[in-house]
């Protein structure tokens, strides 16, 4: 790529600051890796060439003399892959590859087809020119490098529109994955994971992201070691890992990019598919932060001391701060003004909690931001109380909990002081409905919990409702592991409601608080309380682990069809069905989606919609008529705004030669927006050491 001038870089940086969708577009630069094109139906000659190419590429014996065979199989993939057809549809371009010291080959896309040529004299008129050497080309074909990472290292250059270059990169990835027979695979890691419960019929297979911070136990004391952030599958295999990270809180802002913070310093972004890390000019805060894709702003939980003194210490408060993507403070809710210190409340449990040498009045550790109503629900841990804050006025609408305005009822309907004690990870899961991790620390009803670092407690996951009219907080569901030692966590902890109704949480932190070599436990349970899946991080020697939160996510949107109400009448040519869908990742904001009904490989029905926030279900009733005379198969597809496609076959069988790839909708973007955004991201990315995704057979 030609080096941009300093003036262009300056303009680019300005555009990045002023474009609200900048961070969301990271996924355009780093789309999900393509699956290999299925060659099961290919002629024997193609299979032999593929096997020969794979062997030579793997053994390092591939040379320029093998280019003819490379072009033969590449042309076969181009002619038969529906995904290639989708990319080149309506795209008439010529791209020349200048393999320095070896020769040329070029792509010509025209009328929905891709044709590949080689020769001593390339076209003199072209749209894109890519310059690289043979070694770099081999690294890209063997998936040791991507075109983007090669460009970042200075081993690849191009001229022409960036949007076209990204499409060429995508085509090259399809060919490379087919040659090597690989897509994303698992990475090597020093961490060990043990699956202790596994009942696949009770859960939806997905991926889980969580931090694993090393806790070194030595002579009865605990110290922090290296921090890891991992993505694992249901079998405990690691798909991605980021090392040397101390961040505690992680939230997806799109299907591949994770916002990281909570450990002060600066917030960061990590793309788990590519390993790229970007450090933002936004504070990381403590315990919690969130991103609003509509306003391109960040809400961060921060600390602040007041001039008040209690027991010889300054009073420590919490502050909610909203920053733009360039780090400018634009809004703030200050507990010093809005939630004044009350000595009676502070010492009501006979405690005088301190944090960072201050009288720890609030110690808020989580909030949930309702971006549609512009309300913030703040979990004030040390007071076992939740505040609803009107972001427009900064007023506290209500307080609910031990020091709240509402009556508090436990699951049996009995009135209690509080249904949680020093809890973590408040999340909204529906209108006036929440889930929280109840650490059950400092609960007078359980004397063993009244000492931090105790060996026994009653940690659990709790769902509750808040009725603002009757002013009642009601516990409606709880999972109590019935084990007061092994599952007790007095620091950190998480509870997340999943699309299928299950709940997943984190238990155990005794390596951190008690210097005891106990494992970290991730547990997913059904609505009825049955353990569906459980993973433990046991540690070994004197190294154990602590984790604060987790995120479950999926590789595509989820779809559930109610088979009991579905009615397909082929004689009357009608279809009636009820279905529910969820996005592939949880985000507390509305995002766009498209629902389609595919009949015999062709789109028969399409509807745009918005995925609801907080992973709430999106319910649809569909009535279709005038179906084709012959119906071979019917599929439901749901596409999110990053072009991830979830599919569900509801009738018939998809021909093996068709697949669903041909139905993917090509991604269209405004180059006026994408070019400056992507260039800046290229400049900023890759500054921290990470373990990249690897590929293998």
Mean pLDDT of 462-490: 90
Whether pLDDT at 371 is above 50: yes
pLDDT of residue 695: 32
> Residue 17's pLDDT band (boundaries 50, 70, 90)?
very low
Q: Which CATH architecture has domain 34-183?
A: 2-Layer Sandwich (3.30)
Mean pLDDT of 635-654: 90
pLDDT of residue 169: 84
pLDDT of residue 153: 64
- Domains of the chain, by residue range, sit at 34-183, 194-553, 558-668
**Which tens digits make up the pLDDT trace of 601-638?**
899 999 999 999 999 999 999 999 999 999 999 999 99
pLDDT of residue 154: 78
**Which tens digits make up the pLDDT trace of 211-232?**
999 989 988 888 888 999 999 9
pLDDT of residue 196: 95
Mean pLDDT of 645-665: 64
pLDDT of residue 165: 84
pLDDT of residue 517: 86
> Residue 683's pLDDT band (boundaries 50, 70, 90)?
very low
pLDDT of residue 349: 93
Q: Which residue has the tokens 């109704």?
A: 501
Percent of the chain whose pLDDT exceeds 90: 63
**Which tens digits make up the pLDDT trace of 499-532?**
999 999 998 787 788 888 889 999 999 999 999 9
pLDDT of residue 98: 95
Mean pLDDT of 184-209: 88
Cα 70 from chain centroid (whole Å): 36
Percent of the chain whose pLDDT exceeds 70: 87
- Cα–Cα distance for residue pair 542/202, rounded to 1 Å: 35
Whether pLDDT at 240 is above 70: yes
> Residue 113's pLDDT band (boundaries 50, 70, 90)?
very high
> Which DSSP category does 449 fall into?
G
Per the prediction, the chain carries an average pLDDT of 86
Q: What are the φ and ψ backbone dihedral angles of 372, each rounded to 5 degrees?
A: -80, -45
Q: Are 355 and 361 in contact (CB under 8 A)?
A: no
- Cα–Cα distance for residue pair 438/424, rounded to 1 Å: 7
- Among 31-40, 75-84, 461-470, the range with the most confident prediction by mean pLDDT is 461-470
CA distances from 332 to 115, 281, 299, 335, 496 (A): 57, 17, 9, 10, 28
- Cα–Cα distance for residue pair 429/476, rounded to 1 Å: 13
CATH number of 194-553: 2.120.10.30, 3.65.10.10, 3.10.20.90, 2.30.130.10?
2.120.10.30
Q: Comparing 148 with 651, which gets the higher pLDDT?
A: 651
- Cα–Cα distance for residue pair 668/160, rounded to 1 Å: 18
> Residue 184's pLDDT band (boundaries 50, 70, 90)?
low
Whether pLDDT at 416 is above 50: yes
Mean pLDDT of 333-352: 95
CATH superfamily of 558-668: Macroglobulin (MG2) domain (2.60.40.1930)
Among the listed residues 238, 236, 253, the one whose alpha carbon sits nearest the alpha carbon of residue 195: 236
HEC string of 143-201? Answer: CCCCHHHHHHCCCEEEECCHHHHHHHHHHHHHHHHHHHCCCCCCCCCCCCCEEEEECHH
Burial readout 105-126 (b: 16 or more C-beta within 10 A, e: otherwise): bbbbbeeeebebebeeebeeeb
pLDDT of residue 658: 44
Q: What are the φ and ψ backbone dihedral angles of 635, each rounded to 5 degrees?
A: -125, 150
pLDDT of residue 301: 98
- Angle at which helices 6-18 and 671-684 cross, to 10°: 110
pLDDT of residue 520: 92
> Residue 361's pLDDT band (boundaries 50, 70, 90)?
very high
Among the listed residues 119, 136, 125, the one whose alpha carbon sits nearest the alpha carbon of residue 159: 125
> Residue 656's pLDDT band (boundaries 50, 70, 90)?
low
Mean pLDDT of 407-423: 97
Whether pLDDT at 288 is above 90: yes
pLDDT of residue 32: 53
pLDDT of residue 222: 85
Region of poorest pLDDT, from 145-149, 363-367, 602-606, 663-667? 663-667
């Amino acid at each position: 790529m030609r080096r941009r001038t300093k003036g262009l870089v300056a303009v680019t940086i300005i555009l990045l600051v002023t474009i609200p969708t900048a961070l969301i577009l990271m996924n355009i630069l780093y789309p999900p890796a393509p699956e290999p094109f299925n060659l099961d139906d290919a002629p024997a000659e193609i299979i032999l060439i593929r096997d020969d190419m794979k062997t030579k590429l793997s053994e390092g014996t591939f040379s320029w003399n093998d280019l003819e065979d490379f072009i033969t199989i590449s042309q076969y993939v181009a002619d038969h892959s529906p995904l290639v057809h989708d990319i080149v549809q309506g795209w008439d371009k010529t791209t020349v590859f200048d393999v320095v010291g070896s020769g040329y080959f070029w792509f010509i896309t025209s009328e929905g087809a891709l044709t590949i040529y080689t020769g001593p004299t390339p076209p003199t008129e072209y749209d894109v020119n890519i310059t690289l050497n043979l070694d770099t080309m081999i690294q890209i074909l063997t998936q040791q490098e991507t075109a983007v990472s090669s460009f970042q290292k200075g081993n690849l250059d191009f001229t022409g529109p960036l949007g076209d270059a990204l499409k060429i990169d995508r085509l090259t990835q399809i060919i490379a994955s087919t040659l090597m027979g690989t897509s994303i695979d698992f990475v090597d890691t020093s961490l060990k994971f043990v699956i202790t419960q596994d009942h696949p019929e009770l859960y939806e297979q997905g991926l889980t992201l969580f931090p694993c911070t090393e806790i070194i136990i030595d002579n009865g004391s605990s110290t922090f070691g290296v921090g890891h952030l991992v993505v694992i599958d249901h079998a405990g295999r690691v798909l991605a890992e980021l090392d040397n990270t101390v961040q505690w809180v992680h939230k997806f802002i799109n299907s591949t990019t994770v916002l990281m913070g909570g450990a002060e310093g600066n917030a960061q972004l990590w793309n788990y598919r590519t390993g790229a890390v970007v450090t933002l000019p936004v504070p990381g805060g403590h315990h919690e932060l969130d991103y609003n894709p509509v306003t391109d702003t960040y809400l961060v939980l921060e600390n602040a001391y007041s001039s008040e003194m209690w027991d010889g210490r300054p009073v420590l408060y919490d502050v909610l701060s909203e920053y733009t993507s360039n780090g400018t403070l634009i809004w703030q809710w200050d507990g010093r003004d809005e939630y004044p210190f009350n000595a009676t409340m502070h010492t009501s449990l006979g405690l005088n909690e301190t944090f960072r040498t201050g009288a720890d009045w609030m110690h808020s550790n989580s909030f949930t931001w309702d971006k549609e109503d512009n309300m913030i629900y703040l979990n004030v841990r040390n007071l076992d109380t939740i505040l609803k804050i009107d972001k427009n006025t900064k007023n506290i609408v209500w307080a609910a909990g031990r020091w709240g305005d509402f009556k508090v009822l436990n699951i049996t309907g009995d009135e209690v002081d509080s249904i949680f004690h020093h809890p973590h990870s408040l999340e909204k899961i529906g209108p006036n409905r929440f889930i929280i991790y109840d650490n059950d620390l400092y609960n007078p009803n359980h004397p063993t919990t009244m000492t931090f670092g105790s060996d026994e407690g009653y940690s659990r996951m709790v769902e509750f409702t808040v009725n603002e009219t009757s002013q009642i907080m009601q516990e409606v569901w709880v999972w109590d592991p019935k084990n007061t030692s092994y599952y007790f966590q007095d620091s950190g902890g998480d509870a997340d409601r999943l699309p299928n109704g299950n709940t997943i949480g984190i238990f155990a932190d005794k390596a951190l608080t008690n210097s005891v070599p106990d494992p970290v436990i991730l547990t997913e349970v059904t609505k009825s309380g049955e353990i569906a899946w459980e993973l433990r991080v046991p540690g070994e020697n004197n190294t154990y682990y602590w984790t604060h939160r987790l995120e479950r996510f999926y590789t595509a949107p989820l779809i559930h069809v109610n088979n009991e109400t579905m009615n397909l009448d082929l004689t009357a040519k009608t279809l009636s069905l009820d279905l529910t869908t969820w996005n592939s990742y949880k985000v507390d904001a509305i995002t766009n989606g498209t629902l389609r009904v595919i009949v015999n490989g062709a789109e028969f029905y399409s509807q745009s919609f918005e995925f609801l926030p907080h992973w709430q279900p999106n319910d649809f009733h569909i009535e279709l008529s005038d179906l084709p005379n012959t119906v071979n198969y019917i599929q439901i597809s749901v596409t999110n705004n990053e072009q991830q496609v979830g599919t569900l076959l509801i009738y018939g069988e998809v021909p093996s030669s068709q697949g669903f790839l041909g139905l993917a909708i090509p991604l269209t973007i405004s180059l006026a927006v994408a070019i400056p955004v992507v260039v800046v991201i290229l400049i900023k990315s890759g500054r921290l050491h990470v373990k990249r995704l690897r590929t293998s057979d």
